Chains A and B, each alone.
Chain A
Amino acid sequence: MRTRPDYLAHAVLLLGVVLFALPVWLVFAGSTQESGAIMRGELSLLPDLRNLGVYARVLTEGSMGTQPVWHMLMISLGMALGVALGKIIISVLSAYAVVFFRFPLRRTAFWLIFITLMLPVEVRIIPTYSVMADFHLINTFTGLWVPLIASATATLLFRQVFTAIPDELVEAARMDGAGPLRFLRDIVLPVSAANIAALFVILFVLGWNQYLWPLLVATNPNLDTIVIGIVKMIGVETNTDWAAVMATTVLALLPPVVVVLLMQRWFVAGLTEGEK
């Protein structure tokens, strides 16, 4: 057996860890320093913990004409939750219908959903905008998340999970007189809990990280997500309050990173499941 530590492995992995952590550390350290010092290039790698007040300031006031950061965080949170829960709910329902029932045009319905894999929002920017305008969804919170929740990938995943549920369970439920909706609630949802948790992480991150969609459908600053808000901040040419921008960056990164880390086990298993 090997007794000497694997120095090479530690060195490579540490280098990787630093490559990812360093920019975030730099931004955190910068957020606690005076903006003038940052502009003069006198950024210290050690945070000045006396200046953590900048976080309270950006949360309540925003910076350089943006909304308060707490407001943008709430919009992002609402959008991320709406996208994640919305996608999960309508995909569970449609996969359940396709797997557990026989009805005319079942395959057609499935393929209609399936083909949307090939139509990401980036390739239908302009026409989607005009459809949104027809429904008066421009500059509404509904418009931020509802059009994003149709999901071929989630439907595919749940179809795969539901198909694997043993027939004996269905028969037993029917003998007990359980209808399809009770079977869904009491059996199907509990046995799919791990998949739902994994998908929640993936979709929460997806919703939180949207940029093109909110840029397109919400020009009202009241609906700025935190990502939109930061890009606006760094676009300011003069007198940028860099400490405030850096503090906002840290606050914008925290929620999705926390969700991924807290639910890491389910997330990693769920993400790679289709691959094994």
Chain B
Amino acid sequence: MFDRRTVFSGRLLPVLLLLPQLLLTLLFFYWPAAEAVKDSLYAQDAFGQGSVFVGFDNFADLFADPLYLQSAIRTVIFCLAVSVIAMSIALLLAVFADRAIRGRLVYRTLLIWPYAVAPAMSAVLFLFVLNPRVGLFGRWLNRHGVDWDYTLNGVQAMGMVIAASAWKQVSYNFIFFLAGLQSIPRAVIEAARMDGARGWRRFRTITFPLLAPTTFFLLVVNVVYAAFDTFGLIYALTHGGPGKDTETLVIKVYRDGVINQDIGSSSAQSVVLMLGVIVITALQFRFIGKRTAA
């Protein structure tokens, strides 16, 4: 898989070339990960003076804690909603942007730029549109008899963070769906056309199945994005509130570890998240075998 025929000789030079990457990896990836595993097996005493080995107690506490389980379920719902919405809209746009129409390059450019928007900035833009006091549309809703306030209503808050997260991710999915559509051989589409498959039927029976690898890849990327990269977005928009209604697992790790300083529990949560990422990555390699930079 990664052997060239011709190589350079030398032992010291390659080691020197690898050194910066390896050092940073060991210092800022493996060491903290090992610390997390270690800390997850200890509990601090009540006065924060020292810590005692407690085995898997932190994990047992975690899975017995209804708040944690609720947060886990909430995260799953959030991830699926964001992925399905962001991917559906992107696919719809990509199918039409793939048609031979005038100005399609302009459309593409105008649909690609949101890739550059930070998740936290997406939150700020949504606030300006939908905040019940400042947002233009948020005020409009309230003037027209809709009781809209995502800072008080948990369901509305969840809808809001899902919408802002999906909005930011559409352009990424659009780029990949468009590339996937463009790599479908014209001959296949022509053959389908000859057989009389048109419009929705052609899409459903020919195009969509051929996009399956892209769709699966994007599903994994979107779930990982929704689970991890949305921290800034949720934090800026709702702080995980109202109450805990938008508290995903990553928000909870931050709240328990950084704000409440419960090292044992937050480390156990980190370890669970790590296992989650390992499972997702393994799945991805099992079914796709590669991954692009993100």
Contact = CB atoms under 8 A, between A and B. Distances in A.
Contacts of B167: 19-20
Given A102-B7, A230-B121, A271 B254 contact: no
B258 to A, nearest CB: 7
The prevalent SS among residues of A at the interface is helix
Contacts of A260: 112-113, 115-116
Interface string B9-41: 111011101101110111111111111100100
Contacts of B4: 99-100, 163, 167, 170
B22 A109 contact: yes
Contacts of A147: 24, 27-28
Contacts of A212: 231-232, 254
B104 to A, nearest CB: 8
Interface in B128-177: 128-129, 133-134, 136, 139, 167, 170-171, 175-176
A275 B211 CA distance: 11
Interface in A204-220: 205, 208-212, 215-216
A120 to B, nearest CB: 5
Given A131-B35, A234-B127, A275 B270 contact: no
Interface of A: 5-6, 8-10, 12-13, 16-17, 19-24, 26-27, 30, 38-39, 41, 43, 90-91, 93-94, 96-104, 106, 109-110, 112-113, 116-120, 122-131, 135, 146-147, 149-151, 153-157, 159, 163, 167, 170-171, 174, 179-181, 183, 199, 202-203, 205, 208-212, 215-216, 227, 230-231, 234-235, 240, 242, 245-246, 249, 252-253, 256-257, 259-261, 264, 268, 270-276
* Most central of A199, A212, A235, A275 by chain B CB within 10 Å: A275
Given A8-B96, A180-B10, A124 B274 contact: yes
The 10 A-B residue pairs whose C-beta atoms are closest, nearest first, are A211-B232, A209-B118, A127-B35, A274-B292, A101-B14, A97-B14, A256-B116, A127-B32, A97-B17, A272-B179
The prevalent SS among residues of B at the interface is helix
Contacts of A215: 232
Given A122-B273, A124-B33, A264-B109, A231 B236 contact: yes
A94 B22 contact: yes
B25 to A, nearest CB: 5
Given A116-B30, A249-B121, 14 more contacts: A13-B97, A16-B111, A98-B18, A99-B4, A100-B4, A125-B254, A127-B267, A163-B2, A174-B6, A208-B118, A211-B118, A231-B120, A231-B235, A256-B117
Contacts of B112: 260-261, 264, 268
Interface of B: 2, 4-11, 13-15, 17-18, 20-22, 24-36, 39, 89, 92-93, 96-97, 99, 101-102, 104, 107, 109-121, 123-129, 133-134, 136, 139, 167, 170-171, 175-176, 179-180, 183, 213-214, 217, 224, 228-229, 231-232, 235-236, 250, 253-254, 257-258, 263, 266-267, 270, 273-274, 277-278, 281, 290-294
Contact of B35 (A13, A130, A252): A130
B120 A227 contact: yes
A93 B217 CA distance: 28
Contacts of B176: 271-272, 275
Nearest to B105: A264
B6 A123 contact: no
B14 A103 contact: yes
Contacts of A216: 258
